[in-house]
Amino acid sequence: MKNELKLEVAQNPICLNVSDPHFLDQIAESYRGFFSDREPKVEIEIHITHEMHHSPSTDGVVTSDGRVIRISDTYFWGTVDLDRGKGKLEVMPEWLALSLKIFLRYVFALLHFLSGDGLILHGLSVLKAGEVYVFFGPSGSGKTTAATLSEGHTVLSDDVVFLRPETGSFWVHPTPPWGDMQRGERENRPYPLKAVFKLKKAEEIGITQCNRVQAISDVITFPPMSTGIIRADKLLPRFLQLVKGVPFYELRFVRDRSFWPCVDASLHKTGTKNAERYTHGQRNTH
Amino acid sequence: MDKEIPIKSPSTASQIIDGEAVIIVPSEQMVNVLNSVGCRIWDLADGRRSIAEIAEILTREFNVPYKTALKDAIEFTRDLAEKKMIDFAGTGEEKREG
């Protein structure tokens, strides 16, 4: 019985070799829509065991030794050797789904950042009429609420947003359901980015376009890896390119149906009057 | 303190955007934005000039008394050092002796 599963996120294919084939279906179910037939960049051996040979960390740790990354959490221990294209994950069966989610999020984030000009944001991306709206903000700023208010649209990514510049635009790649808010049909391909919104819960709605300095200082997200691998002088120019090429807004919003009309009005010339109305704090009660 | 020579920490990266300096310090997961005067001090922290020499330049360019410029430059570079954004490369005397 074949124990391997090939996955691809943001155009980075990997291959998982699972020690116990009984768990293969469980993994495949969580990553439906992200299967790949391309040559993997990294092959990862997944050893499912009750007897861990390594000591996992209690609070999540990512360390590196040259180009070998170690990722561990309470119930798993994993490593990826970038030069050899090999990885290992040791995990207890009852924690397989959660551990794999955390581990693969790191692995794909790392591959995305190291390939091309990949960028990563913590946030939510919503596909609407063929274009992507990215929403970000600190914990509690309203990303979950924004996802809830996006009924009828496709939530492409609900935890980390993978972006890449190409042909003069930025493109957003869907991710597996690493959060709990994904919905809607989409293909595993990049979609064009329309705008980026910093979310802020407020008593009254309002929207303000950010200048580039404000945008870049708000949006920079540090990859959760050693700075020996992700260098600062690579990180900053990529974010600068993003804030130069894409409109950034601060969106103060309330939990009602004014959310998307406010977003739309900020972006369309036909909605300029509405946008101005929103910036003066008036609330749409439609 | 005024003879010390500030130099940007090698772990930082910076860009001047619209006259302001955006500086990231990955080890601290921190982003700092400096205004025009801060931006100029950051620019001058090149590992060759002492704080006193930086203050002389600020005096000329921003039309402030030398005493004020020196005090500001000392406090500002000390603050940047606490945030691990700059290191001190020694003093002017060491540079001349070397």
Alpha-carbon distance A118 to nearest alpha carbon in chain B (angstroms)? 17
**pLDDT on residue B92:** 55
- Give B-chain residues touching A248 at CB under 8 angstroms: none
Cα atoms in the 13 Å half-sphere on the side-chain side of A9:
28
Please report which residue ranges of A52-203 form alpha helices under DSSP H: 96-114, 143-148
Nearest CA in chain A to B17: A213
A72 forms beta bridges with A61, A77
Determine contact: B63 vs chain A, CB below 8 A: no
Render each residue's pLDDT in chain A as its tens digit; 286 residues. 568 999 999 999 999 999 888 888 889 988 989 999 999 999 999 999 888 777 766 666 777 777 888 888 888 999 999 899 999 999 998 999 889 998 999 899 989 988 878 999 989 999 999 999 999 988 888 888 888 888 889 999 988 999 999 888 999 999 998 877 777 788 899 999 999 999 988 888 888 999 888 898 888 877 665 556 677 788 888 999 999 999 999 999 888 888 898 888 887 743 333 333 333 333 332 2
Give, for A14, the enclosing helix (H) or strand (E). strand A12-18
Q: Which amino acid is at A197?
A: F
Q: Which of A53, A52, A49, A70 is nearest to A61 (CA)?
A: A70
- Give A-chain residues touching B18 at CB under 8 angstroms: 211-213
- State the pLDDT confidence band at B93, using cuts at 50, 70 and 90: low
**pLDDT on residue A270:** 35
Q: Which of B48, B47, B37, B46 is nearest to B73 (CA)?
A: B37
Q: Do B15 and A237 touch (CB under 8 A)?
A: yes
Rounded to an integer, what distance in angstroms lies between the CA atom of residue A242 and that of residue A201? 24
- The model's pTM is 0.84
Rounded to an integer, what distance in angstroms lies between the CA atom of residue B18 and that of residue A136? 24
**pLDDT on residue A104:** 93
Report the residue of A216, A218, A229 to disrupt the B interface, i.e. the one with the largest count of B CBs within 10 Å. A216
**pLDDT on residue A127:** 95
Alpha-carbon distance A227 to nearest alpha carbon in chain B (angstroms)? 7
Alpha-carbon A167 to chain mean position: 21
Work out the average pLDDT over B24-45.
Answer: 88
Residues B3, B52: contact at Cβ < 8 Å? yes
- Assess whether pLDDT exceeds 90 at residue B94: no
Report the residue of A218, A225, A236 to disrupt the B interface, i.e. the one with the largest count of B CBs within 10 Å. A236
What is the predicted ipTM? 0.75
**pLDDT on residue A87:** 96
Residues in chain B: 98
Determine contact: A240 vs chain B, CB below 8 A: yes
- Give A-chain residues touching B17 at CB under 8 angstroms: 212-213, 216, 240
**pLDDT on residue A134:** 96
Report the residue of A62, A64, A213 to disrupt the B interface, i.e. the one with the largest count of B CBs within 10 Å. A213
Residues A253, A264: contact at Cβ < 8 Å? no
Q: Which of A130, A171, A129, A128 is nearest to A150 (CA)?
A: A128
Q: Which amino acid is at A143?
A: K
**pLDDT on residue A58:** 65
Our CA angle for A47, A50, A56, nearest 5°, is 75
- Give A-chain residues touching B26 at CB under 8 angstroms: 222, 227, 230, 232, 235
**pLDDT on residue B44:** 95
Determine contact: B10 vs chain A, CB below 8 A: no
Tokens found for residue A185? 């049909």
Size of interface A-B (CB pairs under 8 A): 44
**pLDDT on residue A217:** 85
Contacting residues for B79 by C-beta, under 8 A, at least 6 apart: none
Nearest CA in chain B to A220: B31
**pLDDT on residue A41:** 96
A183 forms beta bridges with A155
Residues A252, A204: contact at Cβ < 8 Å? yes
Query: What is the DSSP secondary structure assignment for residue A183, as one 8-state letter?
Result: B
